[in-house]
A and B are shown apart, each in its own frame.
Chain A
Amino acid sequence: MRFALRFTRSGPGLIGAVILALLALAALAAPLLFPGDPLKIAGPALTAPFTDPAFPFGTDRLGRDVLAGVFHGARASLAVGLAAAFAALAIGLVVGTLAGFAGGFIDEALMRVADAFQIVPGFLLALAFVSTLGASMPTVILAIALSAWAEPARLARAEVLSIRERDYVAAARIIGMHPLEIAFREILPNALPPVLAFAAITVAGAILTEAALSFLGLGDPNVVTWGAMIAEGRNVLRAAPFLSIIPGLALVSAVLGVYLVSEGVSDALRPREGRAA
């Protein structure tokens, strides 16, 4: 557990972890503190924050409780971020490991596909994907994952290439393990750490992409997310700036938390990794 020790010694990493833990707590507590649908119309529209004790953060255009939205939004936004990052990493790791291990034509073909995804601007891809397949949570997550898997694939492949000739892999080959088994049992776990450092960027990027999609009217209307709250608040930016500032602050703290943690991870990995992400 040298990694954990190093991580806790990194100041930013610790602060980030605390922020994320608090947000995760908010996400978990949301259904207990604010039971029912957070999109429920709860009171008079456009109540200013700190004026009505029933709605400490005020209400939005239709009279929905902003505080409830922020808590439930933590759930959705973190879920989008984590799910999209997880999906991107999973696709990336599998494709990268396969490519690196298989070599030859398969490698070439998979890497050209990765190239194709990398040279198309990610947001354009997500935009086209969501507007053609419908704005629901799973499509949004998939769209973000599709625009982000190529980089981890590349990292995983490079790692695989560097370690596939090492002793333990050779040993596994000698005892007659199936090549795919070697790839996923021996090589993949070793290729994981540098790819994980990349995960943080993907999580933050996913939360922001979801916000931008909501801005263009392509969010899931059944779920409250910070991005959708900010996007809705912009129409009343002058009359009720709190509607976009409050979820905005939540978003900034989440992205900041994720980044600080990634900082901590790369600090902890530095001697092995050689460069910071």
Chain B
Amino acid sequence: MTVLTLSRRGLLKGAALGLLASTAPIAVMAAAAKGGRLVVAADSEPKNLNPAIVASNGVFYIASKVIEPLAEASYDGKDGLEPRLAVSWEGAQDGRSVTFKLREGVTWHDGKPFTSADVAFSALEVWKKLQNIGRSVFANLETVETPDAATAIFRFSKPTPFQLIRNALPVATSVIPRHLYEGTDIATNPANTRLVGTGPFKFTEYKPGEYYRLTRNEAYWNKQAPLLDEIVYRVLPDRAGAGAALEAEEIQLAAFSAVPLADLARISKVAGIKVISRGYEALTYQLIVEINHRRKELADLKVRQAIAHAIDRKFVVDTIFLGYAAASTGPVPRNAPEFYTADVPTYDFDVAKANALLDEAGYKAGADGKRFSLKLLPAPYFNETRQFGAYLRQALAAIGIDAELVNNDSAAHQKAVYTDHAFDLAVAPPVFRGDPAISTTILVQSGLPAGVGFSNQGGYVSSTLDSIIAKAAETIDTDARTALYKDFQKQVVADLPLINVAEWGFITVARDTVENVPSNPRWAVSNWADTALKG
């Protein structure tokens, strides 16, 4: 077995995220037994399960087993991809078209054949018009030609970088059946909750508040798969519940760090349970401090640098993330080696220097040791974002900045930060989706209207960065585009529109009987066709 089970000690030594995609061997699925029911934990119930509309990890976790993208992320495939519904993809020199050769002999779960017409429909009517990511990636998609049932040619009105399309394939190209959606209101189609796809599992049953049940697709195009008979997602809303459920053998796997990090050291010692930190390399989350540049103090680069120097990244990684994270150097994570550069300015943990910078900026400490006060809004989505908020408040206190924590639920946080700009500092966990253009530049780019979530709503404006972003968006040449993003990283770290603190992947905890975890760098949100149960 090549499944890599890391003990906590091994992890600390090997610095978790450092072990990268390209060096990891793929899982061998030869000897695995067939059949069985895999029960996994789910902590949320997405209201709309259609991954072609809602391209988020919460939806993919369930829907990716039923509805497949054109290509999936891969540890060792060319450009980090392996084929799914497309067998090959090729971009034209002028950046105005991309040709996909589609897999033949694929049928939908209702027996109808899958053809290029489904891809054309999904691209033009769903990804481009309705999908949160597709709306930008496919903004200039004009037509999709279908010369035959197994060919789809995407034509763009403006040059669109092939590198971007390629990187977006796993996330933005889930194909849905045209025959069920055409002529209906796509956003409210009942098939959005009772999925019909081409994947290794069929959507069988959903009992709200209790479970989702997927069953084996006998007619899957890969005759060797799937290896499981059923996947059941058991809804466990309380985060403390997943660990207990694993120990009691009521579930066999909990992904997305459903078992709290603080419990991993203990649970890894329980017989029959393994802790797996791989399988999230293409789903890297970044811990960032968002800054409201409308505050006069924060508009001063020296103050932002002081804050960057006040954060002890080692404490964040070792204590908040218990070693299951890596310190960030800039806005692109190490797990995106295609774009990543370490050649950026650094901000060591140095309280004296931070204090000196604040003095220099003219914010002397008052008699009570305080320089100024501000509001700090940690995003409520993860334990770690809240804990980092509590830590940051203390770190700021050490340099004379009095931060008041504001605790909001998701909707209130979204409104306060991204619509009302009622924050000074915020803690956010954006996810890196494989290409800076999809997930990262939006955090820096200026001119976005209020109300756009997870974007630059701090009032930061930099013509230098705006022009780099605009140029990269239309640069067809892969090397030139990559170079632009390396420059982007340098500029961001120098000017600090936001502060990148750490980056992390999630942790899977599973019973020893679950095999072939993980088999790709988006494992938790991939199709699990090769996942098996021993015995």
Contacts and interface: CB of A to CB of B under 8 A. Distances in A.
- The answer to whether A and B touch in the complex, with CB atoms under 8 Å apart, is yes
A131 B412 contact: yes
Contacts of B240: 234-235, 237
Given A234-B240, A235-B240, A238-B243, A221 B405 contact: yes
Contacts of A236: 260, 262-263
A62 B409 contact: no
Interface in B434-458: none
A135 to B, nearest CB: 4
B87 interface: no
Interface in B402-423: 404-409, 412
B266 interface: yes
B407 A221 contact: yes
A41 B387 contact: no
B412 A238 contact: no
Given A221-B386, A222-B405, A63 B319 contact: yes
A233 to B, nearest CB: 10
A220 interface: yes
A62 B390 contact: yes
Interface in A199-223: 217-222
A61 B394 contact: no
A218 B409 contact: yes
Contacts of A240: 262
Contacts of A235: 239-240, 260, 262-263, 383
Contact of B320 (A40, A62, A237): A62
Nearest to A240: B262
Contacts of A234: 240
B265 interface: yes
A-side interface size class: 20 to 34
A63 B386 CA distance: 15
Contacts of A163: none
A238 B386 contact: no
A192 to B, nearest CB: 36
Contacts of A125: none
Most chain B CB within a 10 A radius of its CB, from A39, A217, A221, A236: A221
A217 B407 contact: yes
A39 B387 contact: no
A37 interface: yes
B391 interface: yes
B387 A219 contact: no
Contacts of B170: none
A43 to B, nearest CB: 11
A11 interface: no
Contacts of B260: 235-236
Contacts of A132: 412
Given A61-B387, A219-B407, A239 B263 contact: yes
A259 to B, nearest CB: 29
B26 interface: no
Interface of A: 37, 39-41, 45-46, 61-63, 131-132, 134-136, 217-222, 234-240
Interface of B: 239-240, 243, 260, 262-263, 265-267, 315, 319-320, 378, 380, 383, 386-387, 389-391, 393-394, 397, 404-409, 412
Given A131-B412, A235-B262, 15 more contacts: A40-B397, A41-B394, A62-B390, A131-B409, A134-B407, A134-B408, A134-B412, A217-B380, A218-B409, A222-B404, A234-B240, A235-B240, A237-B240, A238-B243, A240-B262
